[in-house]
């Protein structure tokens, strides 16, 4: 758990980068810091492991004031991933991955075992890649190594500074999925900086939207899309925020709420889509297909029904937009 308590960052010359930000990252959650460039999101992230000093207020990690800890010890307890992966070219993949365990004085045997386990997690062969150097790996592989390096000493908290920002869209999406899968297993408390709205919606349990160092809204992605607190939030997510919110729902959700249409066997050449697909992709597919319907199938290939643009629209209206507002505490 990371708690920000009126956390403030002022640079010399009275430039305030972060203004009294208050929020809590719950244990095992991914919170994405989102906002336009210069909004203070990276500064805020770097204040957690004290790469930036805290001017005022405080940050507590699992109830412990971050300033009460030794700087180096604090950093070794926090996983850190940066955009350009920051792998050291003079070290092999194994050495790179095992830096923090090495600094912490783990035994050779423990390090070896841990390395194999981490490599398994990202589906790379430890034997094959361990002795290679970073430049011998592809960008996507390097970034995966960057991620497991941060996980190496099993820190409870991870900081990720636009970790997938430098990757091409196809690889990025794949690594995002992979990472979410890993997160299901490891359940780290993660603070994640992104400037990409789609990435934020996909990765976040909650989003912190910042502007000029001030917290605009702290909410789940769907709440933020459906009930933006102010004009800035509304504009930031854009006119297509309704469509964006569709990526938070799967066909399965739709099926459970309003059911699918009967499918028409007579129409030849109809595409099939898995029931676990999100609705945004489904909608794109419907639009690109120029067909009236797409057949929905489950994991075993059984046809469950058909989905049309009309049904998606109906779901959007009734299940997303018109969902009753949650009761506000203390009101």
Partner 1 sequence: MEKWMKFLEVNSSRIFDLTIEHAILVGLAILVALLIGVPLGIYLTTNDYLAETVLQIASVMLTIPSIALFGVMIPVFSIVNQGIGFVPAFVALVLYAQLPIIRNTYTAIRNVNPQMRDAAIGLGMKPIQRLFRVEIPNAFPVIMAGIRTAVVINIGIGVIAAYIGAGGLGVLITQGISRGDNYLIITGSVAVAILAMIADGILLWIQKRFTPKSIAN
Is there a contact between 47 and 130 (Cβ–Cβ < 8 Å)?
A: no
Closest separation between CB of residue 139 and partner 1, Å?
14
Show the DSSP H helices in the chain as ranges. 41-48, 71-76, 93-97, 99-103, 108-121, 126-129, 139-151, 169-186, 197-203, 221-226, 231-237, 241-246, 251-258, 279-289, 309-315
Give the pair of three-digit tokens for residue 204: 């976040």
Residue 61: enclosing H or E segment and its boundaries?
Answer: strand 56-61
Site for partner 1 in 124-153 (CB under 8 A): 133-136, 149
**Beta-sheet strand order (sheet of 214-219):** 78-82, 157-161, 189-194, 30-34, 206-211, 214-219
Token pair 């000029």: residue: 212
- Of 103 and 267, nearer to partner 1 (C-beta) is 103
Nearer to partner 1, 48 or 316 (CB): 48
Q: Decide whether 50 or 234 has the Cβ nearer to partner 1.
A: 50
| Closest distance of CB 160 from partner 1, Å | 11
59-98 residues in contact with partner 1 (CB under 8 A) are: 72-76, 80, 82-84, 86-91
Does the footprint of partner 1 cover residue 242 (CB under 8 A)? Answer: no
The footprint of partner 1 on residues 20-49 (CB under 8 A) is: 49
Least distance (Å) between residue 204 CB and partner 1: 22
Could you tell me the smallest distance in angstroms from the CB atom of residue 131 to partner 1?
11
CB neighbours of 248 closer than 8 A, spacing ≥ 6? 201, 221, 222, 225, 278
Distances (CA, A) of 168 to 133, 164, 251: 22, 9, 27
Shortest CB 84 distance to partner 1, Å:
5
Closest distance between partner 1 and the C-beta of residue 163, in Å? 12
Nearer to partner 1, 145 or 294 (CB): 145
> Which residues contact partner 1 (rule: CB under 8 A)?
49, 51, 72-76, 80, 82-84, 86-91, 99-100, 103, 133-136, 149, 159
């Amino acid at each position: 758990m990371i708690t920000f308590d009126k956390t403030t960052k002022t640079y010399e010359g009275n430039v305030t980068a972060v203004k009294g930000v208050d929020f809590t990252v719950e244990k095992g959650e991914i919170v994405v810091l989102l906002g336009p460039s210069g909004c203070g999101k990276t500064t805020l992230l770097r204040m957690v492991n004290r790469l930036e000093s805290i001017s005022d207020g405080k940050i507590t990690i699992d109830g412990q004031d971050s300033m009460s800890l030794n700087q180096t010890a604090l950093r070794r307890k926090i996983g850190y991933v940066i955009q350009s992966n920051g792998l050291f070219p003079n070290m092999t993949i194994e050495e790179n991955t095992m830096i923090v365990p090495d600094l912490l004085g783990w035994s050779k045997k423990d390090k070896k075992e841990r390395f194999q386990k981490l490599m398994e997690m990202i589906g790379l062969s430890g034997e094959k890649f361990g002795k290679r150097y970073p430049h011998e790996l592809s960008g996507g592989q390097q970034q995966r190594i960057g991620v497991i390096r941060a996980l190496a000493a099993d820190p409870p908290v991870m900081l990720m500074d636009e970790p997938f920002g430098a990757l091409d869209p196809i690889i990025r999406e794949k690594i995002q999925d992979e990472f979410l899968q890993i997160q299901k297993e490891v359940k780290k408390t993660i603070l994640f900086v992104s400037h990409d709205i789609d990435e934020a919606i996909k990765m976040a349990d909650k989003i912190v939207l910042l502007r000029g160092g001030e917290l605009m809204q702290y909410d789940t992605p769907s709440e933020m899309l459906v009930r933006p607190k102010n004009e800035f939030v509304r504009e930031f997510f854009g006119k297509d925020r309704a469509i964006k919110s569709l990526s938070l729902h799967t066909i399965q959700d739709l099926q459970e709420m309003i059911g699918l249409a009967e499918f028409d066997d007579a129409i030849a050449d109809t595409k099939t889509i898995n029931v676990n697909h999100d609705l945004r992709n489904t909608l794109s597919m419907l639009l690109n297909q120029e067909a009236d319907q797409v057949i929905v199938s489950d994991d075993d290939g059984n046809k469950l029904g058909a989905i049309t643009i009309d049904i998606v629209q109906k779901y959007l209206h009734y299940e997303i937009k018109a969902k009753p507002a949650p009761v506000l505490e203390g009101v």
